[in-house]
Amino acid sequence: MQYRKFGRLDWQGSALGFGCMRLPLTDKANSASIDEAEATRMVRHAIEHGVTYLDSAYGYHGGESERFVGRVLKDGYRDKVKLATKLPTWLVKAAEDFDRYLDEQLGKLQTDHIDFYLLHGLNSKRWPVMVEANVIASAQKAIADGRIRRLGFSFHDNLDAFKQIVDAHTWDFCQIQYNYMDINNQAGTKGLQYAASKGLGVVIMEPLLGGRLVNPPKPVQAVWDTATTQRKSADWALQWVWNQPEVSVVLSGMSTLQQVQENLASAGASRIGALSEAELDLIGKARAKYEELCPIPCTACEYCLPCPNGVNIPRVFKIYNQGAMYEDAAGARREYTMWTPEAERANKCKDCNECEEKCPQTIPISEWMPRVHKVLGEGVPYEECA
């Protein structure tokens, strides 16, 4: 295992962290049905081979992730790791909610302290609610009484919102989505570098883009096949993240022991600045090839918003594009039906064309909307709506 500087803290964390949010299940239809025996074998194997950072959250696995982590860290394993979990910010409405959820989590985790506590999923809308609820003051009291050791936040929004939150408090660390396809998305490379410049440890989530970078389509695999040194596509993605000095820990939500073993091997081979210019150029070519597979040339500039009919045009285009680029129609449909409010879906388009007059890319938005909804909302295959 390799160990890396964690921001300004006097602690080095393992290059690989274990994200306890895609554990094996006994019933694939029930995310709370963690396969206890197999998951325990996986997590303890990771710890025994040098992983020192375990990440959970209040809502993972239908609320069962923290309970599982509390059990798996018995028999001396708790002393071998730093434990991270997250405040369910979407449930926090008043100051007293902080202590209520923190104490509940301490009970689930069977520990008297949490090493790294995060405000979960901050964005431009959720952060003001945390300010109103005086969450930072509550966290500082919890630090003073020893229930938490370090405070940070996880993030999903744009770069401007990220910088605003970074600058709002002297955080110890943050957690961002980052991979070679997301250099300009969410916090992106600029956000990574900004947070590190402020002394924050930066924990990376989604280094494989939720698994989408593991099994590339044939045009992308053809790029990898030209490499002088052959790697699996997952290893290319992980090494690209670890190559950057601002990265502290890279989380992987592992589901099988084989994934644990492969990621441990990748972490052991990782180094800052280890990739050659030729290898970095190859990764750039893979990114470009993915982008060629993107059917709708939307840049998410948001000039089309607000839609008079409520459609979240950039969001539905992004979901549609990702399903096509990564050959993941099922994942795109889940995101559309589970996480996109009905009022914002493509079938709410009334073909008024107001958005098309504002679109710098001259996308025929009104023509795309029924096709997008047929694929994402009705299950029609992509090829039938191309």
Q: Examine the domain organization and report whether 190 and 326 are in the same domain.
A: no
Q: Examine the domain organization and report whether 260 and 333 are in the same domain.
A: no
Q: What is the pLDDT of residues 8-44, one digit of tens each?
A: 999 999 999 999 999 999 998 899 999 999 999 999 9
**180 DSSP 8-state letter:** T
Q: Examine the domain organization and report whether 274 and 125 are in the same domain.
A: yes
Provide the pLDDT for residue 384: 87
Query: Does the residue 299 lie in any domain?
Result: no
Provide the pLDDT for residue 300: 86
Q: Is 12 helix (H, G, I), strand (E, B) or coil?
A: strand
Provide the pLDDT for residue 330: 94
- Which CATH number fits the domain that encloses residue 59? 3.20.20.100
Query: Does the residue 298 lie in any domain?
Result: no
Q: Examine the domain organization and report whether 227 and 148 are in the same domain.
A: yes
Query: Does the residue 290 lie in any domain?
Result: no
Q: Examine the domain organization and report whether 34 and 87 are in the same domain.
A: yes
What the block records as the tokens of 100 is 């209520």
What is the Cα–Cα distance from 113 to 169, expressed in whole angstroms? 22
Query: Does the residue 300 lie in any domain?
Result: no
What are the phi and psi torsion angles at 98 (to 5°)? -60, -55
Is the model's pLDDT at 299 over the cut of 90?
Answer: no
Q: Examine the domain organization and report whether 255 and 336 are in the same domain.
A: no
Q: Are 329 and 323 in contact (CB under 8 A)?
A: yes
* The overall pTM is greater than 0.85: yes
What the block records as the tokens of 353 is 């064309």
**Numbers of helices and strands, H then E, in the chain:** 14, 10
Query: Does the residue 292 lie in any domain?
Result: no
Q: What is the pLDDT of residues 207-224, one digit of tens each?
A: 999 899 999 999 999 999
Query: Does the residue 380 lie in any domain?
Result: yes
Provide the pLDDT for residue 385: 81
Query: Does the residue 307 lie in any domain?
Result: no
Q: Domain count of the chain?
A: 2
Long-range contacts of 352-357 (CB under 8 A, 24+ apart): 352/308, 352/309, 354/307, 354/308, 355/304, 355/305, 355/307, 355/313, 356/304
In residues, how long is the chain? 386
Query: Does the residue 101 lie in any domain?
Result: yes
The last residue of a domain, from among 267, 283, 299: 283
**342 DSSP 8-state letter:** G
Give buried/exposed letters for 106-125 (b at 16+ CB in 10 A, else e): bebbebeebbbbbbbbbeee
What is the Cα–Cα distance from 255 to 46, expressed in whole angstroms? 12
If we measure between CA atoms, which residue out of 367, 359, 340 comes closest to residue 302? 359
Q: Examine the domain organization and report whether 31 and 141 are in the same domain.
A: yes
What is the Cα–Cα distance from 275 to 286, expressed in whole angstroms? 15
Q: Examine the domain organization and report whether 116 and 238 are in the same domain.
A: yes
Measured in whole angstroms, the distance separating CA 116 from the mean position of its chain's CA atoms is 17
Provide the pLDDT for residue 183: 96
Q: Examine the domain organization and report whether 143 and 90 are in the same domain.
A: yes
Q: Examine the domain organization and report whether 195 and 237 are in the same domain.
A: yes
**336: containing domain:** 313-384
What is the Cα–Cα distance from 341 to 153, expressed in whole angstroms? 25
What is the Cα–Cα distance from 299 to 150, expressed in whole angstroms? 36
Left (φ > 0), alpha (ψ -120 to 50) or beta: where does 41 sit? alpha
Instruction: Specify the DSSP element, H or E, that contains 19.
Output: strand 16-19
Q: What is the mean pLDDT of residues 302-330?
A: 95
If we measure between CA atoms, which residue out of 174, 169, 171, 97 comes closest to residue 133? 97
Q: Examine the domain organization and report whether 139 and 249 are in the same domain.
A: yes
Is the model's pLDDT at 337 over the cut of 80?
Answer: yes
Provide the pLDDT for residue 372: 96
What is the Cα–Cα distance from 371 to 346, expressed in whole angstroms? 9
Q: What is the pLDDT of residues 101-128, one digit of tens each?
A: 999 999 999 999 999 999 999 999 999 9
Q: What is the mean pLDDT of residues 239-260?
A: 97
| Percentage of residues in the chain having pLDDT higher than 70 | 100
The last residue of a domain, from among 265, 283, 301: 283
Instruction: Kindly give, in sequence order, each residue whose CB lies less than 8 Å from that of residue 125, ignoring residues fewer than 6 positions away.
Output: none
Q: Examine the domain organization and report whether 221 and 357 are in the same domain.
A: no
